[in-house]
Structure 1
Amino acid sequence: MPGLRRFRIAYPGRMYFTDRGIEELEKRRGEEEVTFEWLAEQLRTFVDLNPDFEVPVERLATWLARLDDDEDEDE
C-alpha cells in the first residue's frame, strides 16, 4: 500500500494494530528460513480455518508472487 508506506515514513513512531502481529512473527521466527512452498501451505491452512480471510490472503499471496515484476520491467 503506497499510501501506508508514506504515512509510516511521515510518522515514524506510529504502530498499527497489524504491525504487532508482524513484529511478533519477526521476533519469534525471524531467524528461521522457509520456502515459499511451505508458506503457501500455511496460507492454505489458514484460509481453510478462517474462510473470511480468503480475499486478503489471496491478495497477499499475489503481491508476494509478483514482487519482482516491477524490477523486471525496469530492466
Structure 2
Amino acid sequence: MYFTDRGIEELVDRRGEEQVSVEWLGARLQQFVDTHPEFETAVDRLATWLARDDDADDVEG
C-alpha cells in the first residue's frame, strides 16, 4: 500500500455514499490549490487524467 492510499481510503470511508457533481469537485480542487499552491501541478495532472478517462475506452475499442 502506498502512503497516499490512506487518504484515498479515508475519502471512500467518509464520503463513499455521497454523490457529487464534477462542478463541485472542480471547485474543491481549485480551493485546495489556492490553499496549497505547491500542489498545483499534481492537481492539474489529476484533473486532466480524470477529464480524459473516457478517452482510454476509445483507444482500446
RMSD, matched Cα: 0.8
Deviations 1:7-66 (A, max 9, x none): xxxxxxxx2110000000000000000011100000000000000000000000000000
Counterpart check, 1:47 vs 2:27: no
| CA distance in 2 between partners of 1:70 and 1:61 (Å) | 15
Where structure 2 has 5 or more consecutive residues not aligned to the other structure, the ranges are none
Query: Which residue pairs with 1:19 in the alignment?
Result: 5
Letter in 2 for 1:17: F
Where structure 1 has 5 or more consecutive residues not aligned to the other structure, the ranges are 1-14
Q: What is the TM-score with the length of structure 2 in the denominator?
A: 0.95
Query: Which residue pairs with 2:52 in the alignment?
Result: 66
Number of residue pairs the alignment of both structures matches: 61
Letter in 2 for 1:50: H
The alignment-based identity, stated in percent, is: 64
Q: What is the TM-score with the length of structure 1 in the denominator?
A: 0.78
Which has more radius of gyration?
1
- Consecutive aligned runs of 4 or more in structure 1 exceeding 3 Å deviation: none
| CA distance in 1 between partners of 2:53 and 2:24 (Å) | 18
